[in-house]
Amino acid sequence: MSTPLFINIKVDSGASANFHEINHHLPHQSTSSTNPSVSVIVPNGQIMTSNTTTNLPIPTLPPSATLSHGFPKLASGSLLSVGQICDHNCTAFFTDKSVKMYNTSDITVNQHKEPIIAGTRNAPSQPLYNIRLPITQESKPHAINILSPQSANATHLPHLNDRIAFYHATLFSPVISTWIKSINAGRLDSFPELTAK
């Protein structure tokens, strides 16, 4: 059997690190005290622990940018962390059909107008990008059509406990104090009817 020419990896702006399935044809190093494993919480509340590491084949980046943690199976496939790459002096551009990453020193960005959305990120304590959208007087709540594909059916769960459990699991089951601080800071306003209460 011949070695494949490519490794398929999904680019993930929410991944805290690079994660790969160990079935890729890459040189793996078993985890140890000098090469520690990482544990991740998945949406169903279970914890998975990596058992290998490798460096992804991106020769223009340093090993710390390409370090990837191996798992036997990942539901969404192998993940390339945008944050981990961008933390190494890189810039990512996303469009509706593509993503491109550059060494920041190799590009010039000319803005013609102010951005329509701007946010911040503070790695590693805040691995996801955060934006704050103002609520104006003209903003009116709109009815959610349960049959429309964009409505989340979790907002229609009949019992409040089920909805809370679903929201908690989708956030990788944070400790309650962290969850409440995030809610009170307005970072979870996109979750319908979610309050610290």
Query: Tens digit of pLDDT per residue, the chain (197 long)?
Result: 566 678 889 999 888 899 999 887 788 899 888 889 999 887 788 899 999 999 999 999 999 999 999 998 888 889 999 999 999 999 999 888 899 999 999 999 898 998 888 888 776 677 677 788 777 766 555 555 544 444 455 555 667 777 787 788 888 888 888 888 888 888 887 777 788 88
Q: Give me the numbers of helices (H) and strands (E) for the chain, helices first please.
A: 4, 12
CB 11 within 8 A of CB 82: yes
Residue reference for tokens 């959610």? 144
- CA neighbor of 66 nearest in space, from 87, 38, 49, 48: 87
Q: Is residue 156 classed as helix, strand or coil in its secondary structure?
A: helix
Would you list the domain boundaries of the chain? 10-106, 146-197
CATH 2.20.28 fits 10-106, yes or no: no
Half-sphere exposure of 142 (CA within 13 A, CB side): 6
Residue from 61, 48, 59, 60 nearest 20 by CA:
48
